[in-house]
Structure 1
Amino acid sequence: MHCHPAGMSAIWLQIGQCGNQVGQEWWKLVASEKAPGSAVDRYPFYTRDGKLSALSVDSEPKVVRRLLREVKTGSFRDSNILVGQRGRGNNWAFGYHGPRSEDENSLLHRAMDSFRKEVERRDSYSGVILLHSLSGGTGSGLGARLCESIREEFPMGYILSVAVAPHQGGECPLQHFNSLLCLSWLQRYADGVLLFHNDDVLRRMQASCGRKIEQVPALEPQISFSDMNTHIASCLAALMHPVRSLRTPRGTASWDGMLSSIVRTLPRHSSTGKIHQSTAVLAVARGSGADTFNCSLAPIMMKMKQGYGCVSWNPHPLNYWTDPWNIVDQTSPSQSLTICANHSSVSDYMQCVLEKARIMYDAHAYLHWYWKHGCEEGDFLQAFEILDSVVDEYSAAGDH
């Protein structure tokens, strides 16, 4: 039995520099010659003429040119490559509203026109996956506007945002405002958000590199943005590539040990000492011996339930998928275990965004850049209110 987590007829929409860089690594995995090649496996990602069911949108052409060089030649439809010649200045308002001189040929209108045509190419349309950042002007602002426009025009389709949050140390002075506004738009218009935090990704990769070079302590792992994008794409592939759940026990696999190493990295408490909990958890086991996941299901599920602090009010907080093909590591034999959880630790990040954005807002720092490009005071006040309510809901998650 095949299960398609991304939906049988989903469209992939990568927006801005970060979205297109993650998309580049995603398509290199999915469209590789070694990836499963049956029609059923490839259908979620390709249209009937063999083109990727994807749109690449950016306000500048440089990253998109690299994407087209790196991904298998001819995979992208020419009309689905949509670029401008002027960046969005790392400003959500500029990305959302666009230059005042733009008309029906604007990047937004061209993107929506191509999106409609891509929907028409599918036998049915189930939804869209957005790849974008929270901090860049195009990824956060235009990403939010496209999310809103798609929701209004295709209200029955699902919208899943794959959003990358910036380093807390700072990549851009406007990142807290951009993250605040983008997150509030996603809360209003998207059905779900897979959030990748750059600090968390870097920590996990450093820990992994540390284990690999522990025999040579003098080596310091050097991890680039490209490495981090590859890691994010690998997590997406492990979670969202089609799976085939098998029921016949065969061989053994150390799923318990893999789960233990994942659980150890989870934050246990908030900054105020409140215990973090999960409302829902999904495990995806891939690779040789994936069928043995079912043999030790009860203890694994119990460890997941305890490790992720599943709330008591959800009678069925756990789910799992298995597949014999490991899309992340295509050498054989290999195994991967990926966990996707609605974990309340995300509220720590949102609380930090709220606090830093409020300090800047109260000081009127940089606000003239947002007023200049069409933002209004009400946009900020509503964004603060929405994120405050999300943080409160996560805080009360275990109290129902």
Structure 2
Amino acid sequence: MLGMWEKMSLIWLQVGQCGNQIGQEWWQILSSNIAEADRYPYFSRDGLINAICVDTEPKVIRKLRQQVKRGYFRDANIIVGQRGRGNNWAYGYQGISTSGEKNLLDRTMEAFRKEVERRDCYSGTVILHSLCGGTGSGMGSRLCEEIRDTYPAGYILSVTAAPHEAGDSPLQHYNSLLCLAWIQRFCDGVLLFQNDEVMKRAASLTEKKSFTASGLQPSVSLTSMNTHIASCLAGLLCPVYSLKTRSSVSVGLEPWELIRSLCPISTMKFLHTSQVCRRGSVSWDKVTSLAVQTVPRADPHGQLHHSLSVLAVARNSQDYSFLLSQDSVLTKLRQAYRCVTWNPSPIHCWTDPQNILDPSCHSHSLTVCANHSSAADLMSGVLTKARRMYDAGAYLHWYRRYGCEDDHFQMSFDALNSVVDEYRGLGVP
């Protein structure tokens, strides 16, 4: 039986501070709430976590190993350097030449190779990282490229955190530009979480309505934001009854079925996620109405957003009530997300009679993921700000010193402009 459970197992790759902090929250949800029979697409036969944790500084990974309970990381899969990457994509992508740090990429790929060999059938990789930091953006891009070249048959699903629009780093626009271009080229799907939106959702969920002195941003901890992202991942990627075998065994199809359902066109693969979880007696129509409230309606110019495809994952403890409301829920989602008329099957639905997000009581959770044209808003902003800096020659010497030349920037500008054009044309008849 273990052999069958392992057949479609995947490898989790956590890169940089952000990727490992999200991973910490993800593994706490998974190791604490998931049923024993559903663990094996995510854990090895020996019970160790199917994850490789990479960072150029040791502090975050040390904390992760201390706090994740009921699950253990393989020592050889903890890849740590001693120097950061200076919030510089080129520095993270290229690495440095000292003997202790030079092998960070090689060590990661060697650990990855061994994890692949532990699988009966390697199906793909989920990579957690950010667009902003040097390690998450630069080394994350390099690892996507290396994995694609070495294991071309496996899927790559990127879980990516985008920086605050107001600014996390003076280099964030360059880093975002280059990283987005790389994951567009080498990944099959991208779950894109924007920090400003995640902060609003985390503030709403924790009922924290206080604001800072500026009055612009709610006071929300980084842990709460990471927990929200991990909760969305759990809603989407934890085993569902719909995808289990007849004997109720999970074979880990969820990440790859998500890609197949939502990313049928290679030029559009950026996904928006919304989630609502409620306890007690609440109608599914009410839960759906709350979920669609967070969907971006139009771009800054007033052009309405559209969706290429939508996936709804409904989890409700102890009953199958969703099935009674499924038609009305899917109709409401199709209208709210403005699904394109030329896709004959734009809505997909998975269900599970257990709610992993709140297993202790009667509860409902609805996680909705859409290939949505609002991704173009983020990219358009990145393009505008990065182009302004690039034309002024700002900070370019910091990138050129690590081998990032004009060709890399021009390729990235062209790639993102193409993606923006594709998304802008979604609603055009």
Q: 1:74 to 1:10 in 2, by over 3 A?
A: closer
Name the CA distance, whole Å, in 2 between partners of 1:238 and 1:323.
10
Corresponding residue of 2:170: 173
For residues 240-266 of structure 1, what are the alpha-carbon distances to aligned partners after superposition, in whole Å with 9 as ceiling and x for unaligned?
Answer: 0001139xxxx9851111110111221
Match of 2:183 in 1: 186
Whether 1:76 aligns to 2:77 is no
1:350 alignment counterpart: 379
Shift of 1:211: 8.5
Residue 335 of structure 1: CA displacement?
A: 1.6
Alpha-carbon distance in structure 2 between the residues aligned to 1:105 and 1:94: 12
Give the letter for the 1:235 counterpart. C
Give the aligned partner of residue 273 of structure 2.
none
Could you say which residue in structure 2 is the equivalent of 1:380?
409
Structure 1's 81 and 201: CA in aligned 2 closer, same or farther, altered over 3 A?
A: same
Aligned residue number for residue 257 of structure 1: 286
Instruction: Report the 3-state secondary structure (helix = DSSP H, G, I; strand = E; otherwise coil) of the residue aligned with 2:386.
Output: helix
Number of positions where the alignment pairs a residue of Structure 1 with one of Structure 2: 382
Q: Distance in 2 between matches of 1:332 and 1:103?
A: 50
Note the alpha carbon deviations across 1:97-133, whole angstroms, 9 max, x for none: 0013358951100000000000000110000000000
Equivalent residues of 2:285, 2:329 under 8 A apart: yes
What's the offset of the Cα at 1:162? 0.1
Corresponding residue for residue 394 of structure 1: 423
Paired AA for residue 397 in structure 1: L
Matches within 5 A, 1:154-303: 154-210=151-207, 222-245=219-242, 254-288=283-317, 291-303=320-332
Contact 1:252–1:289 (CA under 8 A) maintained in structure 2: no
Aligned partners of 1:16 and 1:396: how far apart in 2?
35
2:25 aligns to what? 25
Contact 1:290 1:323 in 2 (8 A): no
TM-score by length of 1: 0.91
SS in 2 for 1:269: coil
Q: What SS class does the counterpart of residue 291 from structure 1 fall into?
A: coil
C-alpha distance after superposition, 1:71-115 (max 9, x if no partner): 126610000000000100000000000013358951100000000
Is the CA contact 1:80–1:114 (under 8 Å) kept in the aligned structure 2?
Answer: yes
Stretches of structure 1 that go unaligned for 5 or more consecutive residues are: 1-6, 214-219
- Alignment counterpart, residue 364 of structure 1, candidates 376, 386, 393: 393
Q: In the alignment, what sits opposite 1:14?
A: 14
Give the letter aligned to residue 13 of structure 1: L
Letter in structure 1 aligned against 2:160: A
For 1:74 and 1:209, how far apart are their aligned partners in 2? 27
Uncovered stretches (5+) of structure 2, i.e. residues with no partner: 1-6, 211-216, 244-279
**The one of 317, 329, 349 aligned to 1:320:** 349
| Range 114-123 or range 67-76, more displaced | 67-76
TM-aligned CA deviation for residue 222 of structure 1: 3.2
Matches of 1:194 and 1:361, distance apart in 2:
27
Question: Secondary structure, in 3 states, of the residue corresponding to 1:45?
Answer: coil
Is the CA contact (8 Å cut-off) linking 2:208 and 2:219 kept in structure 1? no
Q: Which of 110, 133, 143 is the equivalent residue of 2:130? A: 133
Are the counterparts in 1 of residues 47 and 71 from structure 2 also a CA contact under 8 Å?
no
Q: Structure 2: which amino acid aligns with 1:106? A: N
What residue number does 1:37 align with?
Answer: 36
Q: How far, CA to CA, are the matches of 1:359 and 1:290 in structure 2?
A: 55
Check conservation: 2:208, 2:220, Cα contact below 8 A.
no
Whole-Å separation in 2 of the counterparts to 1:293 and 1:74 = 32
With structure 2 as the length reference, what TM-score do the two structures score?
0.85
Displacement, 1:367? 0.6
Does the 8 A contact of 2:144 with 2:183 survive in 1?
Answer: yes
Q: Deviations over 1:141-167 (max 9, x none)?
A: 000000000000000000000000010
RMSD of the TM alignment (CA)?
A: 2.1
**Which position in structure 1 is the counterpart of 2:274?**
none
Aligned AA for 1:388? Answer: N
* Same amino acid, percent of matched pairs: 57
Aligned with 2:321: secondary structure?
helix
